[in-house]
């Protein structure tokens, strides 16, 4: 339950600090005084989205802090461990900061928390029922959640396991369908890849081959030029008269005769000898090249054809042979995996089928438990409605099964049927229930849930709107009954509900220093009598209404 609530600069509340007790606490006051603002603050502590519009005019930020008793559910203990919360203090301190820039900060026991995780924590702390929440009863697709809320821990665990597997089944089914939808395109791609692989492999490309062919082609295309250059060089060196070799030999002889006279002369002689022997090697090499040269026109045609093949492949598969060979490796891998993909489809289909069979079995078990829960709910709700002066009501949970289609909640669809008039057939609740009946049905459901669940705090925000007289008193007694199981905070305009509370706060709006401010005042016994009398009679409070208020409080407290 909530122990304390602190609010700073929130809407028209500059500063507020409230202490809450066990049992039932009524929050009363004139319309527009700011009662719902307190519920908005509680909603933010439970994980609702914040907005800079909540920040009081002129303030930079709004701060809301709540102190809660630790929930006793084992699931909460596991959640706290998962989130790394320190629970040594025995309480939860939750703080929300809203800043003008629009950002929101959440802290739980000093640890920064995401809004999603705060909402997970908040589900164990408060259950806020607004005056329009009975609209959920007018949505038939919401009825199943009311039934499931009564489930045991074993049921909820089975449902969670089913939903996890159903999500996996949906993902697998989607994957299988995608493969099937793309199968034609995939087959076409495989055919294309096979053709490309065969075309590249037939070419039998070698790394560096193109450069070698270009070099060889250049030689063949320039055969005559090469022959002429070698022939002239050879004539100059050895064949023509006088040739260069003979000239160098004569010069070498002259230098040898004087080499012994000076070291420089000796060095020149040696250099000339080296040049002479080097030119002899060059001359021999030229002769060898001339002997080896042959114009092979067939080879030139072969090279041209080979280069044409390479050029064609480059246009399709890469800028050079290396890129073409890399692409060949890629498509070879893809083709190699093609068989695995076909096998994968078969495996996925088999896995889907097995998982679907398992889901149907689980859905049958869940449905069986739901029928038992629904029967129990029908009996309980008719008893609760009897106490709310709907004693002639017949209520039934009807099941509609789809034997061919599963969904996230299993195989069941349910809808509430009722009749409030004896002799009339049961009809869908969404078509026959009035606003007052819906409020009482919702209150009856909450009374049942409060017994079945371990809720920390339940907040009723004007759920008693639109009723009066003995029905109002019955609602007051029902809310008080719920407060014996859980802490209840109730915003109300009904004197019967306020009189039934064990604690009461009066909320009023004042103007201080030109600014509108909401003030919350705890009421003692005498002040409670005055406030209930105001709620009974309006602006004019007479001795008779005072006595009526005392009698109302005494009678309801006695019950």
pLDDT digits (tens, 9 = 90+) for 135-176: 667 788 888 988 988 888 899 899 999 999 999 999 989 878
pLDDT for res 245: 74
Residues 195 and 124 grouped into a single domain: no
pLDDT for res 102: 78
Q: Is residue 40 part of a domain?
A: yes
* Domain end (from 339, 370, 386): 339
pLDDT for res 506: 92
Q: Quote the CA–CA distance of 315 and 319 in Å, as a whole number.
A: 7
| Owning domain of residue 83 | 2-130+437-523
Is residue 340 pLDDT above 60, yes or no? no
Q: Is residue 161 part of a domain?
A: no
pLDDT for res 452: 61
Is the pTM above the cut of 0.85?
no
Q: Is residue 383 part of a domain?
A: no
CATH number of the domain within which 511 lies: 3.40.50.300
Instruction: Find the mean pLDDT for residues 450-456.
Output: 64
Residues 197 and 332 grouped into a single domain: yes
Q: How many CB atoms lie within 10 A of CB 204?
A: 8
Which of 96-105, 339-348, 355-364 shows the lowest per-residue confidence on average (mean pLDDT)?
339-348
Residues 229 and 125 grouped into a single domain: no
Q: Quote the CA–CA distance of 455 and 382 in Å, as a whole number.
A: 23
* Domain end (from 299, 319, 339): 339
Q: pLDDT-derived band of residue 133, with 50, 70 and 90 as boundaries? A: low
Q: Is residue 352 part of a domain?
A: no
Q: pLDDT-derived band of residue 355, with 50, 70 and 90 as boundaries? A: very high
Instruction: Find the mean pLDDT for residues 75-97.
Output: 90
Residues 94 and 238 grouped into a single domain: no
**Length of the chain in residues, anyone?**
559
Q: Is residue 530 part of a domain?
A: no
Instruction: Find the mean pLDDT for residues 278-305.
Output: 78
Q: Mean pLDDT over all residues of the chain?
A: 84
Instruction: Find the mean pLDDT for residues 43-54.
Output: 89
Q: Is residue 176 part of a domain?
A: no
Percent of the chain whose pLDDT exceeds 90: 26
Q: pLDDT-derived band of residue 493, with 50, 70 and 90 as boundaries? A: confident
* Domain end (from 339, 369, 386): 339
Instruction: Find the mean pLDDT for residues 263-279.
Output: 83
Residues 257 and 126 grouped into a single domain: no
Instruction: Find the mean pLDDT for residues 406-425.
Output: 90
Domain count, the chain: 2
Q: pLDDT-derived band of residue 115, with 50, 70 and 90 as boundaries? A: very high
Closest to 140 in 3D by CA, of 476, 412, 456: 412
Residue 55's beta-bridge partner residues? 10
Write the CA distances from 500 to 114, 442, 483, 497, 536, integer angstroms: 39, 19, 10, 5, 14
pLDDT for res 512: 80
Residues 83 and 195 grouped into a single domain: no
Q: pLDDT-derived band of residue 542, with 50, 70 and 90 as boundaries? A: confident
pLDDT for res 224: 67
Is residue 348 pLDDT above 80, yes or no? yes
Question: What sign does the dihedral 306-307-312-317 (CA atoms) show?
Answer: positive
- Give the pLDDT confidence of 197-214 residue by residue, as tens digits: 888 888 888 888 888 888
């Amino acid at each position: 339950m909530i122990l304390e609530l602190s609010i700073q600069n929130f809407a028209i509340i500059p500063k507020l600090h409230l202490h809450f007790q066990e049992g039932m606490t009524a929050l009363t006051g004139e319309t527009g005084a700011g009662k719902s603002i307190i519920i908005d603050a509680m909603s933010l502590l439970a994980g609702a989205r914040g907005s800079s519009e909540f920040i009081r005019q002129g303030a930079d930020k709004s701060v809301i802090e709540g102190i809660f008793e630790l929930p006793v559910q084992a699931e909460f203990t596991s959640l706290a461990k998962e989130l790394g919360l320190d629970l040594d203090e025995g309480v939860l301190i939750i703080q929300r900061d809203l800043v003008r820039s629009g950002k929101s900060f959440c802290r739980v026991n000093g640890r920064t928390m995401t809004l999603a995780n705060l909402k997970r924590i908040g589900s164990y702390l408060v259950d806020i029922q607004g005056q329009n929440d009975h609209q959920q009863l007018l949505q038939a697709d919401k009825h199943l959640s009311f039934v499931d809320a009564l489930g045991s821990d074993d049921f909820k665990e089975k449902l969670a396991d089913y939903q996890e597997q159903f999500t996996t089944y949906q993902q697998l089914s989607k994957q299988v369908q995608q493969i099937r939808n793309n199968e034609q395109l995939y087959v076409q791609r495989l055919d294309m890849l096979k053709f490309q692989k065969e075309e590249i492999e037939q070419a039998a490309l070698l790394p560096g081959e193109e450069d070698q062919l270009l070099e060889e082609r250049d030689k063949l295309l320039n055969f005559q030029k090469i022959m002429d250059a070698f022939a002239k060089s050879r004539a100059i060196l050895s064949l023509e008269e006088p040739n260069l070799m003979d000239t160098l030999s004569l010069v070498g002889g002259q230098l040898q005769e004087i080499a012994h006279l000076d070291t420089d002369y000796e060095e020149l002689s040696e250099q000339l000898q080296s040049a002479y022997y080097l030119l002899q090697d060059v001359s021999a090499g030229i002769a060898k090249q001339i002997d080896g040269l042959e114009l092979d026109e067939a080879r030139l045609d072969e090279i041209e054809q080979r280069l044409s093949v390479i050029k064609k492949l480059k246009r399709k598969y890469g800028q050079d042979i290396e890129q073409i060979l890399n692409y060949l490796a890629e498509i070879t891998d893809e083709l190699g995996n093609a068989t695995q993909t076909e096998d994968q489809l078969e495996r996925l289909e088999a896995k889907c089928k097995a998982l679907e069979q398992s889901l149907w079995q689980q859905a049958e078990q869940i449905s069986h438990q739901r029928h038992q829960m629904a029967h129990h709910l029908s009996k309980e709700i008719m008893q609760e409605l009897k106490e709310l002066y709907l004693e002639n009501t017949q209520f039934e949970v009807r099941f509609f099964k789809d034997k061919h289609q599963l969904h996230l909640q299993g195989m069941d669809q349910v809808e509430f049927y009722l009749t409030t008039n004896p002799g009339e057939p049961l009809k869908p609740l969404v078509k026959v229930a009035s606003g007052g009946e819906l409020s009482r049905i919702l209150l009856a459901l909450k009374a049942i849930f409060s017994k079945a669940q371990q809720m920390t705090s339940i907040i009723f925000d004007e759920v008693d709107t639109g009723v009066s007289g003995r029905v109002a008193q019955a609602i007051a007694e029902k809310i008080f009954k719920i407060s014996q199981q859980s802490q209840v905070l109730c915003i109300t305009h009904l004197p019967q509900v306020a009189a039934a509370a064990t604690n009461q706060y009066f909320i009023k709006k004042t103007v201080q220093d030109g600014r509108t401010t909401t003030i919350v005042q705890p009421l003692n016994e005498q002040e409670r009598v005055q406030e209930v009398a105001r709620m009974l009679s309006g602006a004019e409070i007479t001795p008779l209404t005072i006595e009526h208020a005392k009698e109302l409080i005494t009678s309801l407290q006695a019950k």
